[in-house]
A and B are shown apart, each in its own frame.
Chain A
Amino acid sequence: MWALLHYSFIQNALLSSAFVAIVAAFAGYFLLIRRLTFAGHAISHIGFAGAAGAVWLGFDPVFGLLLFTILGGIGIGIWGNVLRERDVTIGIFLTLALSLGILFLFLYQGYAEQAYSILFGTILGINTQDVFITALLSIIVCGLLLVLFRPLLFASFDADVAEARGVPVRFLSIMLLLIIAVTVSLSVQVVGVLLIFTLLVGPVAGAMRLTQNPVVTILIAMVLGIFYSWTGILFAALTNLPVSFFIATLSFGVYLLIRMRELLI
């Protein structure tokens, strides 16, 4: 198995997925405590439409992905607070985005491989330049989250008091969705649009049940995320089965173990 580590595509995959796991855990924490997980899900599907559109027009899908997720994130950030039935509204946009994605893929007469990789990830097929872009974006997003950390946590817990204390609550919720948008775009290459939750929500959901300290929760979630991704990549390389299957199964299995442990105590 250790021989695998000498292959550059495995090295790229491990390096890139580690960055993604770290960002996804950090951003995912806020997604969870703000109960915005459905919005995160929707943003990934809006991203699918963008990626499919880019493929159809002959661009790199990453650009379509980033453009659409960022627009979707800003949209949800601006209108999410105004619209009362947020879930319903998000749901309607989500289905519209999916159908657009399907249309673009239909119009694109090329290989189905492109569509497949958007839906399920292409972590074993990324090159050094991809790793570089992922690393750069990850560092920017983590830096932003570090700066916003305290007021964002305050506003997530109690928006009224935070606003009275001078925290720019609205600005922060739009910034968070922008961050989620970039995080989703990064995660898509590892696990694809359909399984985005395995990195964005899975590790944090597990970590939250182990500790109540916000910083420790995030750190545990990062470690779990890296563990799921690396194990998934190595298993996939050994068995030739899809990476995202292993990551999702591990994420589910660990969460189940944590919940079962709670029942025993």
Chain B
Amino acid sequence: MPTVISLEHLFMKFGERKILQDINFSVEEGEFIAILGPNGAGKSTLLKLLLGLYKPSSGKIFILGKEPRRGNSDIGYAPQHRMLEADLAIRARDVVGFGLDGNKWGIALPSKQRTQKIERVLREVGIFHIADMPVGKLSGGQQQLLLIAQALLTDPKILLLDEPLSNIDIAHGQKVISLLTKISRERKITILLVTHDINPLLSVVSRVVYLVHGQCVSGKPEEVITSEKLSRLYGTSIEVIKTKGRLFVIGEEAS
């Protein structure tokens, strides 16, 4: 499989704050990768670097063979989700429409083709029935699916998702995960997903990238999420407990 993303000796600083230090990893086409790590580890920053929203302090990033740039329609992005305000007067189909041509000047003239494209994605994601609802009235899970639908409209080759499983309940979380698995298989899309809980994703991800204090290890979940590897990464004693097919990292937030 060809490499679609590669990071070489990537450093990122905001002023004096070192966010990422010497990050190296590469991603192959069609992989489903979870980016893990405690709060403030630089997970969202990593996604923003891939999107070209930040410039790295040093090091190289290649995404689909080129340096990251804004407006690359080969990359779909859904940011960390916040609940929308209940009286936000805009319809679900308008939000998805942004994904298609929101960056173009002028007014979107109604056309059959445009409507079809929007409705096809809404069906694919399973939220066609709420197309004309105001987005503020949708549940957290529905809003998350909406953002994924929006990110899919340009037929991207890579999907970057920031915490798509936070703020939604377990049932909706499962729905999002099975949808993503289906999308990655059917569309052959590479998915990078930021999360703080690997358990619901253990059976579906091909690899994890574990970020701590700006440094990372990557590999298969059972290889990376071990007491030994994480203790070395955190620089303190970390214990990983495996029970009933789930992994629990003890001592993580305390460090």
Which A positions have Cβ atoms within 8 angstroms of B? 33, 146-151, 153-154, 157-158, 160-167, 208-209, 211-215, 217
Report the nearest B residue to A155, measured CB to CB. B102
A162 and B89 within 8 A (CB): no
Other-chain residue from B75, B95, B105, B108 in contact with A157 (beta carbon distance below 8 A):
B95
CA–CA, A146 and B106, complex, Å: 6
* Cβ of B101 under 8 Å from chain A: yes
Chain B residue contacts of A153, Cβ below 8 A: 90, 94, 98, 102
B103 touches A167 (CB 8 A): yes
Let me know if A151 and B89 touch, CB within 8 A. Answer: no
**Minimal beta-carbon separation of B74 from chain A (angstroms):** 12
Collect the chain B residues with CB atoms within 8 Å of residue A163's CB.
53, 70
CB-contacts of B36-81 with A (<8 A): 51-53, 70-73, 75, 77-79
CA gap between A157 and B87 in the complex, in Å = 13
Additional pairs, 16, CB under 8 Å, beyond known A157-B98, A162-B102: A146-B106, A150-B103, A150-B107, A151-B102, A151-B104, A151-B105, A160-B53, A160-B77, A160-B79, A162-B103, A164-B52, A208-B89, A211-B89, A212-B90, A214-B89, A214-B94
Query: How many whole Å from A174's CB to the nearest CB in chain B?
Result: 16
Question: A-B pairs with the 9 shortest C-beta distances?
Answer: A166-B71, A154-B102, A208-B89, A160-B79, A212-B134, A166-B70, A154-B98, A164-B51, A165-B103
* A164/B104 in contact, CB under 8 A: no
Query: What residue in chain A is nearest B137 (Cβ atoms)?
Result: A212
A33 to B95, CA, bound (A): 13
CA distance A116 to B98 in the complex (A): 45
- CB distance A33 to B89 under 8 Å? yes
Given A212-B90, A217-B89, CB of A158 within 8 Å of CB of B106:
no
Are B102 and A33 interface neighbours, CB within 8 A?
no
Determine whether the beta carbon of A161 is less than 8 Å from that of B70.
no
Tell whether, in the assembled complex, residue B53 and residue A164 are in contact, meaning their CB atoms are under 8 Å apart: yes
The answer to whether B107 and A215 touch across the interface, beta carbons within 8 angstroms, is: yes
Interface centre among A33, A147, A212, A214, by most chain B C-beta atoms within 10 angstroms, is A212
Contact A151 B90 (CB under 8 A): no
Knowing A163-B70, A164-B70, the reply to whether A150 touches B105 (Cβ < 8 A) is yes
**Contact in complex: B51, A150 (CB < 8 Å):** no
List residues of chain B with CB under 8 Å of any chain A CB.
51-53, 70-73, 75, 77-79, 87-91, 94-95, 98-99, 101-108, 132-134, 147, 150-151
Q: DSSP class of B's interface residues: helix, strand, loop or mixed? A: loop
How many contacts between A and B, using CB within 8 angstroms?
90
Contact B79 A151 (CB under 8 A): no
Known: A157-B95, A212-B89, A213-B91. A165 touches B102 (CB 8 A): yes
- Specify which of A146, A150, A208, A213 is in contact with B104 (CB 8 Å cutoff): A150
Bound CA span A160–B70, Å: 11
Q: Is the Cβ of A147 less than 8 Å from the Cβ of B98?
A: no
Residues of A within 8 A of B107 (CB): 146, 149-150, 215
List residues of chain A with CB within 8 A of the CB of B88: 33
B133 contact set on A, CB distance < 8 A: 212
Which B residues are in CB contact (< 8 Å) with A146? 106-107
Asked whether, in the complex, the Cβ of A151 is within 8 Å of the Cβ of B95, the reply is no
- How distant is A259 from chain B, measured CB to nearest CB, in Å? 11
What are the residues of chain B within 8 A of A211 when measuring CB–CB?
89
Whose C-beta in chain A lies nearest to the C-beta of B89?
Answer: A208
Asked if A147 meets B102 with Cβ closer than 8 Å, knowing A161-B77, A212-B134, the reply is: no
Q: With CB as the reference atom, state the residue of chain A lying closest to B50.
A: A164
* B91 with A147: CB separation less than 8 A: no
In the complex, which of the residues A164, A166, A212 has the most CB atoms of chain B within 10 Å of its own CB atom? A164
- Taking CB atoms, residues of chain B closer than 8 Å to A149 are 106-107
**Are A158 and B71 in contact, with the CB atoms below 8 A?**
no
* Residues in A whose Cβ lies below 8 Å from that of B94: 153, 212-214
Which residue in chain B gives the minimum CB-CB distance to A213? B91
Considering residues B73, B101, B107, which has the most beta carbons from chain A within 10 angstroms of its beta carbon? B107
- Cβ 8 A contact of B70, one of A158, A165, A212: A165
Nearest Cβ in chain B — how far from A58, in angstroms? 42
Q: In whole angstroms, how far apart are the Cα atoms of A46 and B53 in the complex?
A: 34
**Known contacts being A147-B105, A154-B103, A212-B134, is A161 close to B79, with CB within 8 Å?**
yes
Q: Are A150 and B78 in contact (CB under 8 A)?
A: no
| Bound complex: CA A160 to CA B107 (Å) | 21
A22 vs chain B, min Cβ distance (A): 15
